[in-house]
Structure 1
Amino acid sequence: MARPNSNENYLLLSATAPHLRSPLLVVTRRIADAGCHIVESRLASLGEDVVLNVLVVGSWDAVAKLESAASRMEREDSLRIQTQRTQAKPTQSNLLPYLVEVVAADKPGILTQIAEFFAARGIQIESLSSSRYRAMQTGAEMFQAQLTIGIPGKTHLAGLRDEFLEFCDSMNLDAILDPVKF
């Protein structure tokens, strides 16, 4: 692999570890030791594991140093690591950021149907968090999701909101679709 001239080489690193040994400290220390910078990161406890996704940037040799440290982290720190070279996310100034929140009685396929609704309209899901929980008051199994979507600027927003709320009504979902305010 030829060395790029740019100082902006990107690496996506995913680390998984048992809940009692979160990968956060080990991975962030190795990133700093390699001379890379964290662009974005996400950490979540999923089941008995903790998953850390990190996008890092650095010079070609710093990123290569971090890639070689990945096998040491697997061996020495008992982490499961995956790495992949990537690029910076292209600017998408034509997309409007909107927040979608959904709550409903849990049933299989809710998330798939929500994703299909947006995909059919050319709307990207930028981030997603969902969970299943037992309602404290009734004990019912519930589903909740929070999505950030990118709506193309040419989209008629009132029409989209109406379509989405009609879709949610047909599936018995309680939902909102609001602009991101930050």
Structure 2
Amino acid sequence: MNRSSARTGSDNQLLIQTLTPSPRAPLLTLAKRIAEAGCNLADARVASIGADTSLTLLATGSWDAVAKLETALAKVSRDEDLRLSFYRTGPREHHSHLLPYLIEVISADRPGILVKIIDFFDRRDIVIEQLSSLRYQAMQTGADMFQAQITIGIPAATHIAALRDDFLEFCDGLNLDAIMDPVKF
């Protein structure tokens, strides 16, 4: 990309991802490199997954600041023996025609529950914006449990009550305890 075709301002974005053992999570190191390059840390997601930590960071800045960050990240990756993945991306397209809803599901754990839930929404062209799920043991009984929180984007033309009824009927058929509420923030 040459400078004359480069975007200006903070339109330049770099998505950075890594998965590392929990004690080695490089959040501070990466946040410092982002600041030192003259970029902003626009979005950060940190999650413990098993014994590891997953980092997803979005840095924004001028074209040259992002280029400086790319060079710094390549050096950090070599020097600290980290598996970093990073690439340039663009601003997220806003979908004002999508209504945000939160889905929460809890049930006894069984293989394939999450696949069935994802398939339910995929067949209806409903976008999954965020998803977090886990398996745990119930404190009271020791039963293996499944929990998921999913934020979806429902097209505004969708009849919400009908979708909610279909989803709750779907969950009843699988013996899942679920709710579907609008995101209130």
The TM-score, its normalising length taken from structure 2, stands at 0.95
**1:99 Cα offset (Å):** 0.4
> Which amino acid counterpart does residue 169 of structure 1 have in structure 2?
D
Q: How many residues align?
A: 182
Task: Show the counterpart of 2:36.
Answer: 33
Bigger shift: residues 73-82 or 86-95: 73-82
More divergent stretch after superposition (19-28 vs 147-156): 19-28
Contact 1:106 1:132 in 2 (8 A): yes
Provide the rounded CA distance (Å) in 2 between the counterparts of 1:148 and 1:78. 35
Amino acid at match of 1:108: P
SS in 1 for 2:2: coil
Contact 1:10 1:57 in 2 (8 A): yes
C-alpha deviation, 1:18, in angstroms: 1.3
TM-superposed CA distance for 1:40, in Å, is 1.2
Corresponding position: 1:134 with 2:137: yes
Which runs of structure 1 show a deviation greater than 6 angstroms over 4 or more consecutive aligned residues?
none
Q: Is the 1:40–1:54 contact (alpha carbons within 8 Å) kept by the matching residues of 2?
A: yes
**How many angstroms apart in 2 are the aligned matches of 1:165 and 1:5?**
46
Gapped regions of structure 2 (runs ≥ 5): none
Residue of structure 2 equivalent to 1:82: 85
Q: TM-score scaled by structure 1? A: 0.96
Unaligned runs of 5+ in 1: none
CA shift, 1:79, in A, is 2.1
What is the rounded CA distance, in whole Å, between the counterparts of 2:96 and 2:54 in structure 1? Answer: 30
Counterparts of residues 18-167 of structure 1 (less than 5 Å): 18-167=21-170
Write the distance in 2 (CA, Å) between the matches of 1:136 and 1:67. 46
| Counterpart secondary structure, 2:24 | coil
Q: Show CA shifts across 1:90-124 (max 9, x none).
A: 11111101000000111111111111101111110
Match of 2:23, SS state, is coil
CA distance in 2, matches of 1:129, 1:70: 28
CA distance in 1, matches of 2:178, 2:81: 41
